[in-house]
Amino acid sequence: MQTERFDRLDGLAAAVDRLGADETRTAREFAVARAKIAAHGLPAPSRAAPVLRARLRQVAALARRGQWPRAAADLAAVEEALSVARRRADGLYEIAAGLLHRRDELRDRLEAYRRKAAAAGLAGDGGLAEDHERARRLLYTAPCDLRASARAVHAYRLALAARLEARR
C-alpha cells in the first residue's frame, strides 16, 4: 500500500515536471506573441509548477512520517490543482499560438489575393496597389495590429472583387 502511494507521488511529480516544461514553452510563445502582435489584455502565462513542486515536497514529508490520511488528502488537492494548471497552460498556449497563426493566415490570404490580381492583369492598378501596400505594411510591422490588418486585407479583397466584377 505504501509503495502504491509513493508511486502515485512519483507519477505526480513527473506530471508536474511536464507541466513546468509546458509552462516554459507557453511563456516563450507569449514572449513571441507580445513582440509580434499588438494584443492588449493578454493574461500573464501561468507558473504553477514551482508551487505544485513545493506542495509535493510537503506531501512527501507527511508520507515519510506515516501521516497517510493527511498526505492522501493533500495529494488529491495537488492532483486537482495540477489538472487546473494543465488546462490553463494549454489554453494560454493556444491563445498565443492562435494570434501568430491568425497573422500568418492573413499574410497568406493577402498574398493569394495579390497573385489573383496579377493573374487578372491588375498588378498596375494604382488604387489596388495602394490597398495591397496598406495591408502588407500592417501585417509586416511588429507589433502587428490584427484587427486593422484584417480590415485592410478585407478592403483589398473587396477592391479586387469590384475590379474583377467591372471587367465582366
Q: What is the pLDDT of residues 42-87, one digit of tens each?
A: 888 889 999 999 999 999 999 889 898 999 899 999 999 999 999 9
Q: Which of 99, 125, 154 is at the close of a domain?
A: 99
Number of domains observed in the structure of the chain: 2
Q: Residue 7 — very low, low, confident or very high, per pLDDT cuts 50/70/90?
A: confident
- Domain boundary among the residues 67, 99, 131 is at 99
Q: Tell me: do 77 and 147 sit in the same domain.
A: no
pLDDT exceeds cutoff 60 at 154 = yes
Give burial (CB, 10 Å; 0-12/13-18/19+) of 102: middle
What does the DSSP assignment read for 23-35?
Answer: HHHHHHHHHHHHH
What is d(CA 71, CA 13) in angstroms, rounded to the nearest whole number? 14
